[in-house]
Structure 1
């Protein structure tokens, strides 16, 4: 076991935050039905939960985040619990990158299966992060070295997902078809396209494909 991994001698202490009473009840039931977990508190918002816990800090907080609730998330993660499991409509939303906590975190879609939520809670309690492939690729993209064009001008390398999107552009697929094939949202496709255009210096889809072919990202 790595030194950074947390060891729990007993059940993982879990608190739940959800504005919807139905969602809150569902999450409470899930936690209570799992022997490895212990429910220590539940509330509609972070402030109420803090009052309920009376200074006690749970191992993991599971929270159902409303769309575009970046301000609420910032409040929740500062100073933040030891671990955080976020359930949001679009786990690949752009704003999540701006408020992503540095500590152990899981970011899951709201329709995640109960088993996925339980596994994520346990992973976060062990000091790990659980992210979607898209979000992970976008976080890593900033660390990739630049490549050099034939003209000598430097440009940032495309991620594997961006190369996939670019190849589908070359095949003539539209945004909705790309989203369906990659099982991502239309907004995420738009994000990838904007990133591709910016990295290649393209102004439209056709130019992006042509530049992708020129620099070896698209095979013909």
Structure 2
């Protein structure tokens, strides 16, 4: 990630471009409801958003614009030395045009009907300089890599249990161990047991990585 993108230590600054006013309002509510995020503004197109921001540059831009108008984003990018990271909501996240349209910086590509928690996790991921891509897109970007439910070691993933999927979904919603235990009516130690099992099956080393791997490999659609 460029030095200018997250130089501050405050909330991740998020702006929205969406044709639908309903989607803009929904994304604004989602961002404003998360203390780790800060909402800068929204508009139906890049030019209007640039006027709305009045010189402010977001860390992350969430947009559902189609590829034929993606050049309009350059208007927004010119506001700063580095473009914001991009969370792109589209009808078909595995479309071939994506490979040519992606900007150089951190990007997430999600289906247009992505759930709120999935969008939040993706915003945080791209703000940290990561990319969020489907296994099919990743396979096309990395020749010789086949999309599969395998760990880096080549070992197949062991399927998560229904309870483990519940716990993983709650992790994606940002719940802590005590809140998970309360909602599932289980003990804190049982939650820790489930987390240990989830981490082992996914090959994750922390909670955020477990959520990202869970989404990437289809164990949860959060």
**Do they superpose with TM above 0.5?**
yes
Query: What is the TM-score when the length of structure 1 is the normalising length?
Result: 0.59
Name which of 45, 69, 73 aligns with 2:70. 73
- Contact 1:89 1:110 (C-alpha < 8 Å) held by counterparts: yes
* Gap change, CA 1:96 and 1:50, over 3 Å in 2: same
Show the 5 A alignment for 1:106-185: 106-141=108-143, 144=144, 159-161=145-147
Shift of 1:77: 5.1
Segments of structure 2 that go 5 or more residues without pairing to the other structure are: 78-82, 149-222
Give the C-alpha shift of residue 74 in structure 1.
2.9
Using the alignment, how far apart are the partners of 1:22 and 1:71 within structure 2?
22
Separation (CA, whole Å) in 2 of partners of 1:39 and 1:61: 10
What is the aligned partner in structure 2 of residue 44 from structure 1? 44
Q: 8 Å contact 1:7–1:126 — kept in the other structure?
A: no
After superposition, the Cα gap between the structure-2 partners of 1:79 and 1:39, relative to the gap in structure 1 and judged at 3 Å, is closer
Structure 1 residue 82: Cα displacement: 2.2
SS in 2 for 1:42: strand
Q: Which residue of the partner structure matches residue 207 of structure 1?
A: none
Instruction: Measure, in 1, the Cα distance between the counterparts of 2:28 and 2:40.
Output: 10
Q: CA deviation at 1:122?
A: 0.6
Q: Counterparts of 1:42 and 1:19 in 2: how far apart (Å)?
A: 10
Displacement of 1:78 after TM fit? 6.9
- 1:29 lines up with 2:15 in the alignment: no
Q: Is the 8 A contact 2:50 2:75 kept in 1?
A: no
Q: SS at the partner of 2:17?
A: strand
Determine the structure 1 residue equivalent to 2:102.
100
Equivalences, count: 141
> How far apart are 1:102 and its partner, in Å?
1.2
Going by fraction, where is strand more abundant, 1 or 2?
A: 1
Report the secondary structure of 2:117's partner residue. Answer: helix
Q: Deviations over 1:42-75 (max 9, x none)?
A: 111111000111121111111123xxx2121233
When Rg is computed on C-alpha atoms for both structures, the one with the higher figure is 1
Deviations 1:183-213 (A, max 9, x none): xxxxxxxxxxxxxxxxxxxxxxxxxxxxxxx
